[in-house]
Structure 1
Amino acid sequence: MAKVVELVETQNDFNKIISESKSNLSVVHFAAAWAPQCQQVNDVLTELSKNTKNIRFLQLEAENIPEISEKYEIIAVPTVIFIKNGEKVDRLDGANVAELSKKVKKWATGAGQINTAPPKQDLNTRLKNLINQSPVMLFMKGTPTEPKCGFSRQTIQILNDNKIKFGYFDILTDEEIRQGLKTYSNWPTFPQLYGNGELVGGLDIIKELVETGELASSLGVVEQPDLNERLKSLINSSPIIVFMKGNPQEPRCGFSRTLVSLLNAEGVKYSTFDILSDDEVRQGLKAYSDWPTYPQVYVKGELIGGLDIINELKETGELKSTFNME
């Protein structure tokens, strides 16, 4: 019987817990320390965990494990995801504690049990869904940050060197998928790389495509512009642009929330870019601007600074002139 909400701190720990839970339900709370609604949700889950059998209750900081947050399409906190047999079976967005209690009790009594198709048909459906989960999909051993075999490590390096964005599935977490995909693809080894739902091949084929310059076209990938050119284009896409976590309606960190509130109060018209939606931009802009934190504010392509600088400009009365509002 679950007694507490377990805090998950790493992607590996999360994958291990989900794998170990097997047919039992896992209730996963995607939270943020700066959001008071998350504490309310966590209190409710703590109480529910005391009186619920065969359900594992987890909490993780959504911003600290972005790979997991992206996998489950977390766009705001709190969000609760219900996972069974390694698959998402339900979700609840927001701090609706009454609906949360209702969903947990429904799954605890088995009312939410999924009707499955015969094993063979169901497996093929799962494989098709996984293969088409991303335009470029890699089935590998381990994860991109911690590959568990040399062939997977080399494949990740090639994809990164060629700036190809891809989804992935760790075949070590699901033996049914691991064995089923060998038959489904008629390819006995891993990693396996798919483009637009079609098998491209393993590491040897990928290396050949790199040598002939056909990797991107074989995957159906349009070559991405140079990162610096992307950043210049984004910075100059609006007279005033804020690179922040989340958006003005749903900021996802306290600094971003304070900044947009300040700008709104001063009547500043601005555009925003959610750096949580694009890790390449998030990491690249730090080096490009030589500014390690977010939010970042640009005016006519020039970096003004972060929240502390904007606060100083307000206190000295220079905010409107800096933003050309006078």
Structure 2
Amino acid sequence: MRGPAPRDPARLPVPAMAAGEVETAGSAEQFQQLLQHKDGSLVVVHFWAPWAPQCAQMNEVMAALAKEHMQVTFVKLEAEAVPEVSEKHGISSVPTFLFFKNSQQVDRLDGAHAPELSKKVQRHAASSSTPAGTDSAREDLNARLKKLINAAPCMLFMKGSPKEPRCGFSKQMVEILNKHGVSFSSFDIFSDEEVRQGLKTYSNWPTYPQLYVAGELIGGLDIVKELEASGELDAVCPKAQNLEDRLKNLINKAPVMLFMKGSKQMARCGFSRQIIEIMNNTGVDYETFDILEDEEVRQGLKTYSNWPTYPQLYVKGELVGGLDIVKELKESGELLPVLKGEN
């Protein structure tokens, strides 16, 4: 990452702490002092850049969370202005959020995911009052690990993501699974230190990657290589669906499905924001799919539906249309009957 001319940290005193406000760290020294400011409590650091609009959005989210969680210290750090801190903590994109307790990193979140940020803040803030190692803390972690393991029929716990593996073993594992057309979801153990350490004990398997099928541990890279060599891997792991079947399943996931940029909580374009407002005012339940998170779906659905833009609204598996169509239906009074499948 590029950075400006070095600053004199002596000229940047740590600001007085104010509950409910977001602090700013302008140097490595300020960063370290802010981490130590509240012993044992949660410190959330937003690595941001002024040129990234999603960072500005997440700064607003941080400000709101700071007022809600007065016991948590929230800090903004301009990633390119303090490159030594960014490099030390592996910050390669913005926005990135790091979570600290007692000056030790306990979690990480990459990207502008407001609901996930809120969830992580709430979970870590709540656990600050629970001594580590207690029975209740272990039970909560085990329940969370079980939920993650069963989040998909085939779950890979790895370093990085399938698109950007962050170790050679994880890269090899992804290559083998992709070569065999295995349908799998993944979890980046670098994003959550609690999961990274807890899963080793939970599964009694000390290294990563770890592959689970139907909630049961298959093993690491060596085991998967053995299964591949013996011809058993195809029988053990579920096959990936072709794109058309996948799109059909997504479209029929709920009676009313909205494919959009972003989510209900944070629309990431003006058209998506407008359609969310209209949908919310109908009182009809609906689910959303963020096409920015899946390039295959984003491009494939345009061809499948013969509709070139987003958002796209489907009712009972049938395309209703985009924002203009939804607006017309609303103005004519037909939207509610359409959403309820009465037309």
TM bucket (normalised to shorter chain) is: 0.5 to 0.7
Contact 1:238-1:271 at 8 Å conserved across structures: no
Q: For 2:241 and 2:155, locate their aligned partners in 1 and report how far apart those are by CA, in whole Å.
A: 21
Structure 1 residues 213 and 255, CA gap change in structure 2 (3 angstroms): farther
Structure 1 residues 42 and 301, CA gap change in structure 2 (3 angstroms): same
**Given the alignment, which residue of 186, 189, 209 partners 1:167?**
186
Q: Note the 1:166-245 alignment, pairs <5 A.
A: 166-170=185-189, 174=193, 177=196, 181=200, 185=204, 189-210=207-228, 214-215=232-233, 218=236, 221=238, 223=239, 225-232=241-248, 234-235=250-251, 242-244=258-260, 245=262
The amino acid that maps onto 2:124 is V
Contact 1:228-1:288 at 8 Å conserved across structures: yes
Q: Note the 1:122-141 alignment, pairs <5 A.
A: 130=145, 133-135=148-150, 136-141=154-159
Q: For 2:317 and 2:326, locate their aligned partners in 1 and report how far apart those are by CA, in whole Å.
A: 16
TM superposition shift of 1:275: 0.5
- Asked if 1:45 corresponds to 2:44, the answer is no
- Asked if 1:147 corresponds to 2:165, the answer is yes
TM superposition shift of 1:153: 0.8
- Asked if 1:259 corresponds to 2:278, the answer is no
| SS in structure 2 at match of 1:258 | helix
Q: For 1:176 and 1:260, locate their aligned partners in 2 and report how far apart those are by CA, in whole Å.
A: 34
Q: For 1:153 and 1:208, locate their aligned partners in 2 and report how far apart those are by CA, in whole Å.
A: 17
**CA displacement, residues 259-292 of structure 1 (integer Å, 9 cap, x when unaligned):** 2555798x9x988441039846456424534656
Q: For 2:185 and 2:266, locate their aligned partners in 1 and report how far apart those are by CA, in whole Å.
A: 27
Q: For 2:198 and 2:159, locate their aligned partners in 1 and report how far apart those are by CA, in whole Å.
A: 13
Q: Which residue in the other structure is 2:11 paired with?
A: none
TM-score by length of 2: 0.50
TM-score by length of 1: 0.52
The amino acid that maps onto 1:25 is L
TM superposition shift of 1:229: 2.0
**CA displacement, residues 42-85 of structure 1 (integer Å, 9 cap, x when unaligned):** 16738999xx8x834369879xxxx9489x9937xx936427xx
Contact 1:5-1:46 at 8 Å conserved across structures: no
| SS in structure 2 at match of 1:156 | helix
Q: For 2:173 and 2:331, locate their aligned partners in 1 and report how far apart those are by CA, in whole Å.
A: 53
Q: Which residue in the other structure is 1:157 paired with?
A: 175
Contact 2:145-2:199 at 8 Å conserved across structures: no
| SS in structure 2 at match of 1:82 | helix
Aligned length in residues: 268
Q: For 1:118 and 1:325, locate their aligned partners in 2 and report how far apart those are by CA, in whole Å.
A: 54
Contact 1:152-1:190 at 8 Å conserved across structures: yes
**CA displacement, residues 92-135 of structure 1 (integer Å, 9 cap, x when unaligned):** xxxxxxxxxxxxxxx9xxxx52222279x988985785466223
Q: For 2:276 and 2:118, locate their aligned partners in 1 and report how far apart those are by CA, in whole Å.
A: 23
Q: For 2:233 and 2:196, locate their aligned partners in 1 and report how far apart those are by CA, in whole Å.
A: 26
Structure 1 residues 5 and 155, CA gap change in structure 2 (3 angstroms): farther
Where does structure 1 lack aligned partners over 5 or more consecutive residues?
Answer: 8-16, 92-106
**Given the alignment, which residue of 78, 89, 94 partners 2:124?**
89
The amino acid that maps onto 2:272 is S
Q: Which residue in the other structure is 1:79 paired with?
A: 118
**CA displacement, residues 167-186 of structure 1 (integer Å, 9 cap, x when unaligned):** 32436975995699399635
Contact 1:227-1:284 at 8 Å conserved across structures: yes
Q: For 1:275 and 1:176, locate their aligned partners in 2 and report how far apart those are by CA, in whole Å.
A: 26
Q: For 1:276 and 1:125, locate their aligned partners in 2 and report how far apart those are by CA, in whole Å.
A: 29
TM superposition shift of 1:152: 0.8
**Which one is further off, 133-142 or 149-158?**
133-142
Contact 2:157-2:188 at 8 Å conserved across structures: yes
What percentage of aligned pairs have identical amino acids? 33
TM superposition shift of 1:200: 1.5
Contact 1:138-1:192 at 8 Å conserved across structures: yes
TM superposition shift of 1:306: 2.6
Contact 2:156-2:211 at 8 Å conserved across structures: yes
Q: For 1:242 and 1:194, locate their aligned partners in 2 and report how far apart those are by CA, in whole Å.
A: 31
| SS in structure 1 at match of 2:149 | coil
The amino acid that maps onto 1:209 is L
| SS in structure 1 at match of 2:115 | coil
Contact 1:239-1:270 at 8 Å conserved across structures: no
| SS in structure 1 at match of 2:160 | coil
| SS in structure 1 at match of 2:63 | helix
The amino acid that maps onto 2:271 is F
